């Protein structure tokens, strides 16, 4: 045999074995990386189509996370508003009890004044409650507006709503961040188109502070108490309705949370199916690649000995 021809053949075989050795090593490295990361796709070149599918799934997952964070904030605000309305309803009910007590003909002026002062304190507490905010400084009863205090009191003690009436639009995955304070605390009565629960309490306070020494004053007091009770009952109904609305939204938030969780699970399953590694299968593949690499190493070692023998020949 021609020594040069033999050496050329050996060199060709050597290049082939080296190429196989590099290929086996690359396969082993990839399987080790897959096991280390737990992912079948670690870079786009591993599976371009699968990588694109996984990227789209991750985009949907991030969007769902944003919706979940928004829902947590919305539910928190609605829960605060519902709780505040429950507290406010107790204030108004207490004021109603005091007004009824004030109709007792045996009470004198100081006693009625004491009742009036308590109602006045309840009214101030109610106004503070109506302007209550969340931890981010957003008014719970601002409606569609963004003012920090949707209810303002002028120098004459008249309370006005300066927020934006109505509710922010909701969807299948979102709810309003604030309730409509106008519909909760402001209303139209039979005698006043711009009535409010605050005004009803103010009228009752003013009437109770009048001296009741004359028959005329007593009649006026009784009329004021009667009208005050009517307006307070109307305002109480408004507040109870708003609280019921908040409760409905909270129930809806539970359904939305379940929906978002289901979407998250489904999308994560899709991403995992495309990207994640079946660990048992991955370990089996790594072992196969390890064996193939070891065989390639032995083949290369044998070829090296053969090449040395041919050279010596």
Give the 3-state secondary structure of residue 160. strand
Quote the CA–CA distance of 269 and 141 in Å, as a whole number: 40
Q: Quote the mean pLDDT of the chain.
A: 83
Q: What is the pLDDT of residue 232?
A: 92
The pLDDT tens digits for 247-277 are 999 999 999 999 999 999 999 988 888 877 6
pLDDT, residue 237, reads 94
| The predicted structure's pLDDT at residue 1 | 47
Question: Based on the number of CB atoms within 10 Å of its own CB, is 136 exposed (0-12), middle (13-18) or buried (19 or more)?
Answer: exposed
Assess whether pLDDT exceeds 80 at residue 190.
Answer: no
Looking at the predicted structure, is the pLDDT value of residue 149 above 70? yes
For residues 5, 8, 12, 15, the Cα torsion angle rounded to the nearest 10 degrees is 160
> Which has more pLDDT, 42 or 58?
58
- N- to C-terminal Cα distance for the chain? 11
80 band by pLDDT with thresholds 50, 70 and 90:
very high
DSSP designation for 186: E
Q: How large is the angle between the packed helices 215-275 and 48-102, nearest 10 degrees? A: 170
Position 35 pLDDT exceeds 90? no
* Predicted confidence (pLDDT) at residue 311 exceeds the cutoff of 50: no
Segment 25-50 shows an average pLDDT of: 74
Q: How far apart are CA 180 and CA 151, in angstroms?
A: 12
Range with the lowest mean pLDDT among 113-122, 154-163, 259-268, 278-287?
Answer: 278-287
Among 61-65, 160-164, 240-244, 284-288, the minimum mean pLDDT is found in 284-288
Q: Which CATH number fits domain 81-166+175-271: 1.10.287.1770, 3.40.640.10, 1.20.1330.10, 3.40.50.300?
A: 1.20.1330.10
């Amino acid at each position: 045999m021609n020594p040069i021809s033999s050496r050329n053949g050996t060199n060709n075989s050597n290049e082939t074995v080296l190429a196989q050795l590099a290929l086996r090593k690359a396969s082993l490295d990839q399987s080790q990386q897959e096991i280390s990361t737990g992912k079948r796709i670690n870079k786009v070149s591993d599976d371009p189509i699968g990588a694109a599918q996984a990227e789209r799934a991750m985009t949907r997952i991030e969007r769902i996370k944003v919706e979940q964070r928004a829902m947590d904030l919305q539910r928190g605000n609605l829960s605060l508003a519902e709780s505040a309305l429950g507290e406010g309803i107790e204030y108004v009910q207490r004021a109603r009890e005091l007004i009824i007590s004030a109709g007792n003909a045996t009470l004198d002026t100081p006693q009625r004044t004491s009742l009036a002062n308590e109602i006045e304190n309840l009214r101030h507490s109610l106004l503070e409650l109506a302007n209550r905010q969340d931890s981010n400084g957003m008014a719970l009863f601002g409606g569609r507006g963004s003012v920090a205090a949707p209810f303002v009191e002028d120098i004459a003690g008249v309370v006005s709503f300066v927020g934006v009436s109505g509710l922010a639009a909701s969807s299948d995955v979102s709810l309003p961040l604030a309730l409509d304070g106008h519909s909760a605390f402001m209303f139209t009565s039979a005698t006043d188109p711009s009535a409010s629960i605050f005004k009803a309490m103010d009228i009752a306070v003013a009437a109770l502070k009048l001296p009741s020494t004359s028959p005329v004053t007593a009649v006026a007091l009784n009329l004021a108490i009667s009208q005050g009770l009517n307006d307070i009952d109307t305002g109480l109904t408004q507040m109870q309705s708003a609280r019921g609305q908040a409760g409905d939204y909270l129930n809806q938030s539970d359904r939305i949370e379940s929906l978002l969780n289901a979407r998250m699970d489904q999308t994560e399953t899709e991403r995992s199916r495309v990207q994640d590694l079946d660990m048992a299968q991955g370990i089996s593949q790594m072992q196969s690649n390890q064996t193939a690499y070891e065989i390639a190493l032995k083949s290369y070692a044998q070829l090296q000995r053969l090449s040395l023998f041919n050279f010596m020949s």
